[in-house]
Structure 1
């Protein structure tokens, strides 16, 4: 049995945490015993515990904290961890050092978004980059969720090229093929029968919700029955609600917070919109396409690796409010074209971006790294005996 420790980037629920939820749920239990380590308490801890995952909380603040480092080393040593996979700049730094100190054979750093897009100060971004360059020798592999992210990693540190590879995110197709009542969300929220846009994302600056609100203001006169539901929560909720009110869109633009029934919102949507300024390889797009929904997204980072403009969805430039409004209007005016885009997108997800494919490629990275470090099957057995 191979003990795999997954060091999360946060304990809130976002794309990186969705990745961990899927990976822990689909690793072969006959080969792997996953342990999830979260850097602080949060909703993700309880969510994963309810799924039967062994979860530990090891506080990792601030970035340079020797006490936090030793706490992490202690957990890795006590659990005889064979593979440590880390997620995000802070976890990648801590994991490399702790893995080396604890004698973990394989340390895999996972990059879900470009460090250049982190919403931190220039000094903190420089510290992150310097720390990751300094600890690169202690990373067996660097796993990136998109080719765009991989290019950014190599641009930041060319020495990382030989140990860096892409494994795209994937979704569970069966979860999105169950029949769902399309009217449930509309009834719950008291929505009209007009066209409905849905966006699913944390309410943070990189997600571009303000651009979507401004685009709705441009569409209001021509589409008075248009409604938009924003699923997710974050520090910008109140400012965004105030912006919607200032544009006279309070009844058109609804904020419903974080929801566990996100598939029902996809089912209710006529169009799914992701107006982000930065993304790695977003699960939202994969999930919406898996349900056959037409998607409009910004052409940032890894998004064009799944959305082929005019074939599997529509791409617009980030921060282009007029372009976003125009794309929404084009799909509302041509519902048959919207349906065709959704169908084509679903076929691409089913063929290329499934959780089975993601896990298979991730395990292949595990196995290659174990071979590189000279860890064979008998050694795994001895290690956990």
Structure 2
């Protein structure tokens, strides 16, 4: 088990800091305390939920979900520092912890693969839209498919490329068929990072109509590649996408606004690319692994000083 493995490691080696991720780190704080090491926790969720353990025991089908919430909450609550990926997530985590850990919840944005900055755009005349990520409902793909039908009425040669896997793929295929746009939608499935980087160089616009985003890695990658993007004004996205400066933001679920934004990108490619170039520079400055490492090093040093 994780607990036994951690105990063995701490006996064999002297660790100054143990950095936990997700609910699997539940046992770490108590074990680490006995060995006088610092303990940090990174939350990849956009919140720390209430546990509902008592209610969960009364409803067995919900017990495992509530147990998972309990482990996640305990892992975070016992940490000397809680690391999250965005200011949006930080606020939700503080709300979930009832602001008891205010000064200890810190934002460290992840870096992105340097290969994104090396993408050479070859999209002249392209009418291809692209989205990559998990094929799940929160990515707003149902709205995108409905918008695609409207865009096709204006630009018949438009196509949509969906890259990624998920349990909603077949549902989206059926929706596209029902809307009469299946011949315009290409489901690529999983692709490795280098293949995505090569593929999107020839696409006109990245479209990400998410309903929620705790960070928005695909959007940051798209901007790093110099790809014009349309995204939604949700979650952490407005923290690094400035509307009509580095990209275009629309309200979530607003199909007319999404339609207008996509059309504007396709019909004004020079303007779209100018925004994309500004976005690329923003991401280059904010989301490098060197920057993330410097910020994390400062946090580690602060934790060590408290031991």
Q: Deviations over 1:147-204 (max 9, x none)?
A: 110011111111121211111222244x234365848xxxxxxxxx640111011112
Q: Give the unaligned 5+ runs of structure 1.
A: 1-67, 184-192, 374-385
- Which residue in 2 is equivalent to 1:155? 95
Secondary structure, aligned partner of 2:284? helix
Name the CA distance, whole Å, in 2 between partners of 1:297 and 1:253.
Answer: 19
Structure 1 position 344 matched with structure 2 position 284 = no
- Which residue in 1 is equivalent to 2:37? 105
Name the CA distance, whole Å, in 2 between partners of 1:92 and 1:347.
Answer: 36
- Which residue in 2 is equivalent to 1:30? none
Name the CA distance, whole Å, in 1 between partners of 2:126 and 2:39.
Answer: 51
Name the CA distance, whole Å, in 1 between partners of 2:11 and 2:161.
Answer: 46
Structure 1 position 93 matched with structure 2 position 26 = yes
Name the CA distance, whole Å, in 2 between partners of 1:93 and 1:219.
Answer: 48
Name the CA distance, whole Å, in 2 between partners of 1:85 and 1:215.
Answer: 43
Shift, 1:293, TM fit: 1.2
Shift, 1:265, TM fit: 2.4
Name the CA distance, whole Å, in 2 between partners of 1:79 and 1:245.
Answer: 59
Shift, 1:233, TM fit: 0.4
Q: Give the unaligned 5+ runs of structure 2.
A: 50-60
TM-score by length of structure 2 reads 0.85
Query: Aligned pair in 2 of structure 1 residues 363, 254: CA closer, same or farther (>3 Å)?
Result: same
Query: Aligned pair in 2 of structure 1 residues 276, 98: CA closer, same or farther (>3 Å)?
Result: farther
- After superposition, the CA RMSD in angstroms is 2.7
Q: Deviations over 1:297-354 (max 9, x none)?
A: 1111111111011111011122222222221111112112101110110111122222
- Which residue in 2 is equivalent to 1:224? 156
Shift, 1:127, TM fit: 4.9
**Stretch deviating more after TM superposition (148-157 or 122-131):** 122-131
- Which residue in 1 is equivalent to 2:236? 302
Cα pair 1:307 1:313 within 8 Å, conserved = yes
Name the CA distance, whole Å, in 2 between partners of 1:352 and 1:285.
Answer: 13
Shift, 1:98, TM fit: 5.1
Query: Aligned pair in 2 of structure 1 residues 182, 259: CA closer, same or farther (>3 Å)?
Result: farther
Name the CA distance, whole Å, in 1 between partners of 2:36 and 2:133.
Answer: 35
Name the CA distance, whole Å, in 2 between partners of 1:352 and 1:148.
Answer: 16
Instruction: Choose the corresponding residue for 1:279, options 196, 213, 216.
Output: 213
How many equivalent residue pairs? 292
Cα pair 2:233 2:249 within 8 Å, conserved = yes
Instruction: Choose the corresponding residue for 1:138, options 51, 63, 78.
Output: 78
Name the CA distance, whole Å, in 2 between partners of 1:78 and 1:232.
Answer: 42
